[in-house]
Amino acid sequence: MVLANERSFQICARPSLMISDNDPRSSPVLDYLKQLHHTHAEFTGGEVATYIPELAKADPNWFAICLVTPDGQVYEVGDSKQQFTIQSISKPFVYGMALEDNTRSEVLAKIGMEPTGDAFNAISLESDTGRPRNPMINAGAIAAAGLVAGKSMSTRLQRILDTFSLYAGRELTVDEGVYSSESTTGHRNRAIGHMLRNFDIVDGDPTPIVDLYFKQCSISVNCRDLGIMAATLANHGVNPVTGKRAIRGEYVESVLSVMGSCGMYDYAGEWLYRVGMPAKSGVAGGIMAVLPGQLGIGIFSPPLDERGNSVRGIKVCDDFSRHFNLHLFNSPHANKAVIRLQYDGSQINSNRVRGDDEVFELRKSGRSIRVYQLQGNLVFSTAEVLVREIMSDLEDKKFVILDLKRTLEVNESACRLFHQLLLKLSAIGITLIFTHTSRAPMLRRYMKLKLGDRAAELYHAFDDNDPALEWCENKLLSELLPGYQSEYQLAPEQYELFQGLTPDEFTIIKGRLLLKTYRKGSVLVNTGDKALELFIVSKGSVSVVVTLASGSQKRLATFSSGMAFGEMALIDNATRSAIVVAETEVECHVLTVETFDALDDDHPHIKIVLLRNLAHSLSTKLRKVNREVSIFDY
């Protein structure tokens, strides 16, 4: 099945590949994987598994590597399309299903989480409870299969297939030949099933559950599938190629934990020490390794070592981890530069165009609005830096805005700190506001859950900084200016454009204006329209918006009563470059270009005054842009 949104690099590399043949345009990552493949393809150690007769048919020369990133980039070399059975690599995925279908406490009552240091088929049960020590050994995996929900075994199997298919991004099926071979030779696993039944770890006849386990191990995959399945775990449960969720995010850490401590059986300790990635191996020759948040890797090579792990797979993972310093405990230091930029409301205002008295008050008192532009991952260490900075600068503050636009993740520990920060600030009369919260879905859920009935009162969130700034400005101005209203109506003689006209000149120009009305939501001006008139808002407000490359719209300005827009029509006669929409019921006085040009003949002084006022308006807008550029450092 071809996936339309997939981006993939592939080369069928064989041992004869010459590294010097690399395409100079290829990715350095692909080049390195090709080098790894070439280096280890010539290794001939290990033996193909024979205890399941069907597995003995594998070609020991089969060898593939597939690396997948959390944004869906797929790099693959070698026999990446060669089908093989998933075997024990199925265990973490079924364990994840068991967690989703039951509570954690119910699963832990049936299956432990402690490494055994024993082989994969060891009968490691707790002596007093009969509980398997972890879900990665066969006993624990059989118990996990028994916890998968479904009215019948066929329903359970179909759910397992559907879930595995979500992980892989394509429809997967059971290899009936391998299943039959496993079923014929799987007496030890049947014995384990009966022992589990003896301790009530599984309910009812254990035979169908063991049979389900045989089938989950016999699901046919290829190396590419393993890479994508690993990357799905690295991507917090979302398949990075298809964008579909395979497991709820809260259970991914539990799955990765047991993979890290128990996934490689009696080699798990050395694996974690040397490679440092949660992983799972299978006796068909597959290995799947996960570096949370960064990558998933699948390796396929049938020859196994004495512990039942792919010999080439171990070597590839070891080299790869060391080459790129990918050990789980070699994580980079948290970026302390979480605050990209900070400014206040006296420096940057919203895009609502305001009168002189409002501008004056915001210049004087705008420091009470503080904006923090954040970046990177917000985890405990970075959120603590931010909270500390905010708490150290609360003098004269009334509003604190946290801009999340450039953040990559806001995890639960950061959400906890922000919740406590919100309560602390609220208690001293400071409002905490979040913008671009689509970047932090966990934050929205967390705040609403923790605040409960007070969420509507205390949790303030906006899609963009501009409406957040306007909201703060309106609150501030209502305190500073007696009788302040964000919506008002001015008489024509109060319009900015007509300041400086004599009473007679005003009467003349007023008589040449047209009055137009617009309903809320109406489009007054559209992009590409010919510019034939200047508008002056008499009543209500209008917003100038542009459509971004993403398809979303951004507000450039909002004009209210007495303010003019569309003035470029009087200067260059070009087509309109933005959309103007009525935010409310709107009345506008309109001065056409034709009427404006006619002033040259009978009232040139009126035209001079209008041009001077337009120049002043344009100068004010330019100064605002210059101020923003100097602060934002575009």
**Predicted confidence (pLDDT) per residue in 486-502, tens digit:** 677 888 999 989 999 99
Packed helices 380-391 and 412-427: angle between N→C axes, nearest 10 degrees: 20
Give yes or no for residue 200 having a pLDDT over 70: yes
Which sign does the torsion angle of CA 27, 32, 38, 40 carry? negative
Give the confidence band of 568 by pLDDT, cuts at 50, 70, 90: confident
In this structure, the chain runs to a length of 634
Question: How far is 74 from 127, CA to CA, in rounded Å?
Answer: 45
Q: State the pLDDT at residue 335.
A: 61
**Predicted confidence (pLDDT) per residue in 500-535, tens digit:** 999 999 999 999 999 999 999 999 999 998 889 999
Q: State the pLDDT at residue 356.
A: 83
Question: How far is 522 from 401, CA to CA, in rounded Å?
Answer: 31
Q: State the pLDDT at residue 15.
A: 35
- Measured between its terminal Cα atoms, the distance across the chain in Å is 44
Q: State the pLDDT at residue 8.
A: 47
3-state secondary structure of 431: strand
**Predicted confidence (pLDDT) per residue in 112-156, tens digit:** 999 886 666 667 788 888 899 999 999 999 999 999 999 999 999
Question: How far is 513 from 538, CA to CA, in rounded Å?
Answer: 12
**Nearest residue to 135 via CA among 190, 75, 93:** 93
**Predicted confidence (pLDDT) per residue in 201-247, tens digit:** 999 999 999 999 999 999 999 999 999 999 999 999 999 999 999 99
The two tokens of residue 108 are 């832990």
Give yes or no for residue 19 having a pLDDT over 60: no
Q: Binding site membership for substrate: which residues?
A: 88, 138, 182, 189, 213, 265, 283
**Predicted confidence (pLDDT) per residue in 573-629, tens digit:** 788 889 999 999 999 999 999 999 999 999 999 999 999 999 988 888 888 888 878
Give yes or no for residue 548 having a pLDDT over 90: no
Give yes or no for residue 324 having a pLDDT over 70: yes
- Spatial strand order of the sheet with 586-592 comes to 514-518, 586-592, 533-539, 564-565
Give yes or no for residue 336 having a pLDDT over 70: no
**Predicted confidence (pLDDT) per residue in 146-183, tens digit:** 999 999 999 999 999 999 999 999 999 999 999 999 99
Give yes or no for residue 632 having a pLDDT over 80: no
Q: State the pLDDT at residue 621.
A: 82
Give yes or no for residue 332 having a pLDDT over 70: no
Strand partners, 7: 73
Q: Binding site membership: which residues?
A: 88, 138, 182, 189, 213, 265, 283
Q: State the pLDDT at residue 629.
A: 81
CA dihedral 34, 37, 38, 44 (to 10 degrees): -170
Give yes or no for residue 3 having a pLDDT over 70: no
Domains, in order of start, for the chain:
7-268+287-314 (3.40.710.10), 339-480 (3.30.750.24), 492-632 (2.60.120.10)
Q: State the pLDDT at residue 549.
A: 85
The percentage of the chain sitting over the pLDDT mark of 90, rounded to a whole number, equals 77
Give yes or no for residue 20 having a pLDDT over 60: no
Q: What is the DSSP letter of 131?
A: -
Q: What is the mean pLDDT of the chain?
A: 91
The two tokens of residue 491 are 């008489």
Give the confidence band of 14 by pLDDT, cuts at 50, 70, 90: very low
